[in-house]
Amino acid sequence: MPRTTWFSAGLAGLPGASVDRTLGPWYTHIEFPMPISAFAGLVFGVAVLTIGLYHVTFVAPRFRSITATLQGGGDEGESPSAALVRAALAAFENKTEGRLTGLETVVKRDLHRIGFVRYNSFEDVGSDLSFTLALLNDEGDGVVVTSIYSREETRTYGKAVKKYVPQQGASKEEQSAIAIARNGGSA
């Protein structure tokens, strides 16, 4: 069996340790019958066992009691503080439901469906400087903005869209931008 060697005068009194003082009275050579890794494992095991026993004995019963109280169990001898906590949780739940409903309404009107198309309006102008931008909500309502670039001027137009259908006549680029927005950004 391998032996672990420690050099300390304070460990000479440990059971199972053999002491050799050949190096001097102030210097103690101790050999333990157990490797240090086994000793550390033993200490770790005792610590885990102690924590587990504490959890089973004290923590788990209290946790079960608190959980049962908050979920509505134990009404017969309920403390006033538990009733207040349950009432506060119910009020918070109602408030959260109301806010969630409001946010769902806002999201339906939000313009998060976007379609963008760049193109050349005229053959003598390059670099795709004209564009069409569709900004729509989940129901297909919104606006299409078109900017047409030429060498002399740039014109910008806006058209209303209802249920993914433009309210005025639409060019093929505007139809394409609406289709991209409807498909979530892919043509």
Q: What are the backbone dihedrals phi and psi of residue 122, each rounded to the nearest 5 degrees, phi first? A: -130, 150
pLDDT at residue 1 in the model: 43
Residues 101 and 142 placed together within one structural domain of the fold: no
In a domain, 148, yes or no: yes
If asked whether residues 123 and 155 sit together in one domain, one would say yes
- Flag whether 127 is in a domain: yes
Range with lowest mean pLDDT among 76-90, 115-129, 169-183: 76-90
Q: Is 74 helix (H, G, I), strand (E, B) or coil?
A: coil
Strands (E), the chain: 4-7, 18-20, 29-32, 113-119, 130-136, 142-149, 154-162, 165-166
Q: Would you call 140 exposed, middle or buried from its count of C-beta atoms within 10 A (0-12, 13-18, 19+)?
A: middle
105 and 117 inside one domain: no
166 shares a domain with 120: yes
Is 53 inside any structural domain?
A: no
In a domain, 124, yes or no: yes
Per the domain annotation, does 47 fall within a domain? no
pLDDT for the residue numbered 4: 46
User: What is the number of domains present in the chain?
Assistant: 3
pLDDT over 60 (residue 3): no
Range of the domain at 122: 113-182
What's residue 16's pLDDT? Answer: 56
**Same domain, residue pair 128 and 100:** no
13-66 confidence digits (pLDDT tens): 555 555 555 665 555 555 666 677 787 888 899 999 999 999 888 888 888 877
| Among candidate residues 58, 91, 109, the one where a domain is terminated | 109
Pair (122, 168) in one structural domain: yes
Residues 122 and 138 in one domain: yes
Domain assignment present for residue 62? The answer is: no
Residue 102 lies in a domain: yes
User: What pLDDT is attached to residue 31?
Assistant: 61
> Is 83 in the same domain as 133?
no
Q: Are residues 126 and 178 in the same domain?
A: yes
Are residues 139 and 101 both part of a single domain?
A: no
For residue 65, tell me if it sits in a domain.
no
Average pLDDT, the chain: 80
The answer to whether residues 30 and 14 belong to one domain is yes
Looking at the structure, tell me whether residues 123 and 164 fall in a common domain.
yes
137-180 pLDDT, tens digit each: 888 899 999 999 888 888 999 999 999 999 988 899 999 999 99
